[in-house]
Structure 1
Amino acid sequence: MRDEGVMLLFMVCVIIVVVHPLKLVSANLEGDALHSLRVNFDDPNSVLQSWDPTLVNPCTWFHVTCNNDNSVIRVDLGNAALSGTLVPQIGLLKNLQYL
């Protein structure tokens, strides 16, 4: 019984060590994608000022909504007076439901 408990604890630790950083990497990829969008837009009112690519994930940025897994599901830029074109990196937002 003791060996089973040790093995279970080991497996839980492996899952935490392996899966948790993958979520951070995914969030960073999404932040990088949104930052690419930001630098491609003309933003006369500084609406995207909070889009700081040095943060762990973009879920704290204004106009960005994430799900429970810290994955971007919504980017609401209506009435922001932005101009420019979308970038291909927007395709990295795998869970995006609203733009």
Structure 2
Amino acid sequence: MADERLTPLRQALAALDSGALGAQAFSAAARSQTALLDALPARYREVLLNLLDRLESSALFSEESCSFSQKDLLDSLRLWLDKAEAQLQRG
């Protein structure tokens, strides 16, 4: 069963992936999920913030000139969400 606390972030990621939401807006949405981040161990916040910083940096440059692949970052964010969900289910 999916943890509902992750729903807003999953929806925002889907919007980012489809181009309906920009990297800065996604990052702001993710950073605003304080209840979710407080429910997870501190290392999850650290990893997410690192991914968001990289995503924001990648948005400043074209794909070719940036050292961060946006596709890889989106895959990493999906993996983070899956791991966060597993952690929340463990309690």
Q: Which structure is larger by alpha-carbon Rg, 1 or 2? A: 1
Larger fraction in strand:
1
Larger fraction in helix:
2
User: If the length of structure 2 is used for normalisation, what is the TM-score?
Assistant: 0.34
